[in-house]
């Protein structure tokens, strides 16, 4: 290993902090009292978080976001893994066509489905429900494609040995493919979760009931309704924004490397 130059490391750290300064400073603002903020003084309070949760329902939005993103991830990764297993290990009439149709969804811009999906869910009575938030986000062509490539790299002799022992395809999937694909499944699950966590336009359209707001919708509205006689109540807004960022931020710091690997593999392929 080469020895690092501590001066360069410190400079990089400083440059990184400078780049992220707006976000870091927004967290600082979230810890100020409103009066001190507008008087230009420094203070410390957690009261803005308490107000965001107690007066503006952000606890509920947080639970909604966790629930919706969690279920989308669970369903999405299950469907993608099953399909990827079929595409990687079976040759069947129509298989190439269906795989092509799955990959082609990557090129289909999502805005085209906004109005139709709204109508479909209205007809099914699912607007303003959790199901309405979740169902349109479940299919993920990229995850299916990515996992199929990964599964193809697993030696087929492992499957065949299991079939010899009388295992069913589902058992092979569950006992051999899934455990051996764990890193790929983990990075795709993470990718789906983050995408859904940050999703905005669909929840904006599909949900009008305040009880079902996700953090993104709640934050955008809180900023828009401007609570605080004419002046924006920035400390409150920044507390809400911090609640919106923090879970993904923590997840990111834990698993940055996996996420980056997943994204670059998908792009370079």
Partner 1 sequence: MMTRIFTPYLLVAPLMIFIAVFTYIPIVMSLDLSFRQWNFLSPDMPFVGLRNYEQLIASSDFWNSLRVTALFTVLSVPLRLALAVFAASYLVRESAPSRILRGALFLPAVTSTVSIGVVFSWVFSTDYGMVNALLAHVGLAKVQWLQDPHLALWVLIFVNTWKQLGYDVVIYIAGLQAIPQDLYDAASIDGGKRLHVFRRVTFPLVMPTTYFLLVISVIEAFQVFTIVNVMTKGGPAGATDMLVNLLFEIGFVLFDIGRGSALAVLLFVLLVFLAFLKSRIIGRKVHYEA
Q: Considering only residues 105 through 134, tell me which ones interact with partner 1, judged by CB under 8 A.
A: 105, 107-120
| Interface pick for partner 1 out of 219, 233, 236, 239 (rule CB under 8 A) | 219
| Interface pick for partner 1 out of 32, 64, 181, 216 (rule CB under 8 A) | 216
Q: Does 23 contact partner 1 by CB under 8 A?
A: yes
C-alpha 37: how far from chain center: 33
Residues 159-198: x where in contact with partner 1 by CB under 8 A, - otherwise, as a string: -x--x----xx---x--------------------x--xx
Q: Does 204 contact partner 1 by CB under 8 A?
A: yes
C-alpha dihedral sign at 257, 260, 266, 268: negative
Least distance from C-beta 88 to partner 1, angstroms?
10
Q: Does 56 contact partner 1 by CB under 8 A?
A: no
**Interface of this chain with partner 1, residues 59 to 78, rule: CB under 8 A:** 78
Q: Does 2 contact partner 1 by CB under 8 A?
A: yes
Least distance from C-beta 45 to partner 1, angstroms?
18
């Amino acid at each position: 290993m080469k020895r690092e130059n501590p001066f360069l490391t410190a400079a990089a750290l400083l440059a990184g902090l400078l780049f992220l300064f707006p976000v870091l400073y927004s967290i600082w603002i979230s810890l100020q009292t409103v009066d001190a903020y507008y008087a230009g003084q420094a203070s410390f309070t957690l009261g803005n978080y308490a107000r965001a949760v107690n007066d503006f329902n952000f606890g509920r939005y947080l639970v909604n976001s966790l629930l919706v993103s969690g279920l989308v991830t669970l369903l999405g990764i299950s469907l993608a893994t099953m399909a990827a297993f079929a595409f990687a290990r079976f040759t069947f009439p129509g298989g190439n066509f269906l795989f092509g149709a799955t990959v082609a969804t990557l090129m289909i811009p999502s805005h085209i489905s906004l109005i139709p999906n709204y109508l479909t869910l209205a007809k099914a009575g699912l607007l303003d429900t959790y199901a309405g938030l979740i169902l349109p986000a479940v299919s993920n062509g990229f995850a299916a494609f990515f996992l199929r490539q990964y599964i193809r790299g697993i030696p087929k002799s492992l499957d065949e040995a299991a079939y010899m022992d009388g295992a069913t395809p589902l058992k092979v999937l569950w006992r051999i493919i899934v455990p051996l694909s764990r890193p790929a499944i983990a990075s795709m699950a993470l990718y789906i979760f983050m995408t859904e966590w940050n999703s905005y336009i669909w929840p904006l359209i599909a949900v009008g009931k305040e009880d079902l707001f996700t953090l993104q919708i709640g934050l955008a509205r809180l900023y828009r309704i401007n609570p605080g006689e004419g002046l924006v109540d920035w400390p409150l807004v920044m507390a809400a924004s911090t609640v919106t960022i923090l879970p993904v931020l923590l997840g990111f710091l834990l698993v940055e490397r996996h996420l980056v690997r997943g994204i670059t593999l998908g792009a370079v392929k």
